[in-house]
Amino acid sequence: SIDIAAARQRNIRVTNTPDVLTKDVADLGVAMMLNQSRGMIGAESWVRDGSWAAKGLYPLRSRVWGKRAGVLGLGRIGYEVAKRLQGFDLEISYSDVSAKDFAPAAWRFVADPVELARDVDFLFVTLAASAETRHIVGQKVISALGPEGMLINISRASNIDEEALLAALENKTLGSAALDVFEGEPKLNPRFLALDNVLLQPHHASGTVETRKAMGQLLRDNLTAHFTGRELLTPVL
């Protein structure tokens, strides 16, 4: 059988371990960055409520292209996020337990998450959740990202210290955030609802018709493999 850990070090694509949601999650992460930067939800409301006709142009927002992005956790999802960001002419840096040989030479490895946050405009959190990564994005990382920075989380809520995040958003020591996951979801902390510098999503990064069908098919394929005595496609180890 294939050594999955070693294969992932060599190449993001491990052909015999079906991956049905990575690209959808990456898509939503990049979409949240674009949406929050350009104020698209507020801009649509500006049109719908008559403000465009009554007040004129929507207030200016911030560009995306040509800025600096950091990816915290260059696994499958982080890799797909970074690959998409290249299309926006973003300078890409990443942090992980070590430099990855599958990462293009143009992607800069930064070992320390605080240093990574200090050097970027957008910080994507794409880490798997574990005891070691709990609150890895805490006050130091958030402060390093700063009042012009944006934090995008498409991983797990436990990777971020929500109290530190809320305080920074309320005090404007962090510019903005775009979040698809929350502690205690769907009953998120009501302090988020009072903020105008955070984009809130209902943990639906993989929520496409195509991916749900693929997940169902993967379940059936695993069951078929089990009952015919073949190796499972996605064993739980």
The one catalytic residue among 63, 185, 210, 230: 185
> Does residue 203 have an active-site annotation?
yes
- For the beta carbon of residue 225, count every other beta carbon within 10 angstroms: 15
> Does residue 156 have an active-site annotation?
yes
For the chain, how big is the Rg over CA atoms in Å? Answer: 19
CA distance 181 to 166: 14
> Does residue 204 have an active-site annotation?
no
| Cα atoms found within 13 Å of the Cα of residue 41, Cβ hemisphere only | 14
Q: Is 130 exposed, middle or buried (0-12, 13-18, 19+ CB in 10 A)?
A: exposed
The one catalytic residue among 8, 68, 191, 203: 203
User: Side chain identity at 12, as an amino acid letter?
Assistant: I
Residues marked active site are found at: 156, 185, 203
